[in-house]
Amino acid sequence: MLSVNEVKNPYLGVSGLDSDLSAEEREFQARVRRFALDVMRPTSAQLDKMTAQELIDPSSPLWKYLQSFEELGIAPSVLIQLGPERLKRILPIVFEELGYGDAGLAVAAFISKRAEFAVRANGDPELIKEFGHLRGCWIATYPDRGSDVIDYSGFELAAGSTQSVATLQAKVSSSEIVLTGRSSEWIACAPIAECALIHCPADYGDGPLRPDGGVFGAVLVVPLDLPGVSRGTPSEMIGQRCLPIGSIKFDDVRLPTKYLLHGKEEYHASMFGVLTAAVMSIGAIATGVATAAFERALEYSRERRQGGVPLVRHQLVRWRLYEMWRKVEVSRAMLRRAAAFNFSAEGPHLLASITAKTTAIEAATDVALEAIRIFGANGVGRQYPVEKLLRDIQGCTIQSGEDHTLGLQAANWLLRGYQPSGHGSGDGARA
């Protein structure tokens, strides 16, 4: 039972109801929060007004931001040394605080490190030397292959049909790899990347289609200064305008076999692992956006006067602020729970990450929209910060997979693994 000797105001730290953070976790949180406030927000205020081309010009503040992120000391090469027990608690904190600063800049910082993380996990010293210092991007979606990328197991494949093979394919032989085709228009960091981590359909000699209607794949790391590589015009977005996006085309680009990180047999596990981490990260970033929206609305309601008193004195406004805070806490708790599962002996699994991301996206969308309503007409003006938060969260709804598509995957995995007794058999009936 709970015993109370003195009634006091609740102690709510930077992340609400957190009460058991270690000294190390609090140090990470404080460091990234300072970075979010002192570097990310001022930078995003400048970048949000720029065109997609201006964003990547040599004079853009984006370059100084990326250098500042390097100096922050939370790159994958640092985090990977922490081990699973520390990572499961620190990662959600780090990504949430970056999202609190700016969603687009948070994605840019870590997507630019995705290729580096892949080669370091691979462990090949030659590849680490070649790619470990390069800015990267992750190519996994194509103009004619979107949700099929996520649905490797073919849960949603209509009977008798096949998945889209995609415009970008790798032909893999014992002596070389030939890469032909182009990515989608929405590849994060493509306009500024020096190399790419690529998950794409692959032909190992008998065609790219699997007997079950899916496709075989290859995981490659590719320098982007090779002959035959070209880039499209940077794409404009309504939100996350601080994130450079675009397409990359490969015209019969010839690669040595050493650039093949995972082949036919390992492709699914690689894609599953990268996607599980990416989905969880976007959920944490969305939680940071929700926190920022709640705080902006709280500050405004204390300052803005209506009916002779500050907004916060009106009962309905207080109720709405509480609902916003409650949704942030639900989102935060779900992210911590998913991270704990993914770094446990039972994990990682995409089901945990999808559950966390879709929860966080729904909460952040609700909170950002409610913030605009509390601001009233000021909420839709660009001179106030909340309209940008609502724009930015729209990008999160499709990053690392559109939420409805992810939800279908989660449902199928749930039906495979969940039993009424509470113990998953892992081989339940397919939906």
For residues 176 and 105, state if they share a domain. no
What CA–CA distance (Å, rounded) separates 350 from 408? 12
What CA–CA distance (Å, rounded) separates 273 from 152? 13
Query: Encoding tokens for residue 297?
Result: 């609305």
Residue 382 lies in a domain: yes
For residues 203 and 315, state if they share a domain. no
For the chain, the straight-line distance linking the first and the last C-alpha, in angstroms and rounded, comes to 44
CATH assignment at residue 230: 2.40.110.10
Residue 345 lies in a domain: yes
What pTM was estimated for this model as a whole?
Answer: 0.94
Question: What pLDDT, on the 0 to 100 scale, is given for residue 394?
Answer: 95
Question: What pLDDT, on the 0 to 100 scale, is given for residue 2?
Answer: 86
- Would you call 200 helix, strand, or coil by DSSP? strand
Query: Encoding tokens for residue 28?
Result: 């990470």
Inter-residue contact 314 to 320 (CB < 8 Å): no
Residue finishing a domain among 86, 117, 148: 117
Question: What pLDDT, on the 0 to 100 scale, is given for residue 431?
Answer: 43
Residue 67 lies in a domain: yes
For residues 160 and 101, state if they share a domain. no
Residue 368 lies in a domain: yes
For residues 194 and 245, state if they share a domain. yes
Domain that holds residue 36: 23-117
What CA–CA distance (Å, rounded) separates 386 from 373? 10
CATH assignment at residue 43: 1.10.540
What CA–CA distance (Å, rounded) separates 212 from 206? 14
Selection from 145, 9, 99, 151 nearest residue 281 by Cα:
99
Residue 194 lies in a domain: yes
What CA–CA distance (Å, rounded) separates 180 from 229? 10
The β-bridge partners of 209 are 215
Contacts of 204 (CB under 8 A, 6+ apart): 172, 216, 263, 264
For residues 199 and 220, state if they share a domain. yes
Largest CA distance in the chain: 78
| Number of domains the chain contains | 3
For residues 260 and 283, state if they share a domain. no
Residue 426 lies in a domain: no
Query: Encoding tokens for residue 144?
Result: 């004619």
Inter-residue contact 288 to 93 (CB < 8 Å): no
For residues 245 and 344, state if they share a domain. no
Inter-residue contact 360 to 67 (CB < 8 Å): no
For residues 309 and 330, state if they share a domain. yes
The β-bridge partners of 16 are 13
For residues 206 and 294, state if they share a domain. no
Q: Which residues of the chain have pLDDT under 70?
A: 422-431
Residue finishing a domain among 249, 265, 281: 265
Q: What is the bridge-based pairing of β-strands 260-262 and 248-255?
A: unpaired
CATH assignment at residue 360: 1.20.140.10
For residues 148 and 38, state if they share a domain. no
Question: What pLDDT, on the 0 to 100 scale, is given for residue 81?
Answer: 84
For residues 236 and 335, state if they share a domain. no
Residue 182 lies in a domain: yes
Residue finishing a domain among 265, 298, 321: 265
Handedness of CA 329, 330, 333, 339 (dihedral sign): negative
What CA–CA distance (Å, rounded) separates 18 from 204? 50
For residues 294 and 410, state if they share a domain. yes
Inter-residue contact 382 to 309 (CB < 8 Å): no
Residue 94 lies in a domain: yes
Tell me which DSSP letter residue 347 carries: -
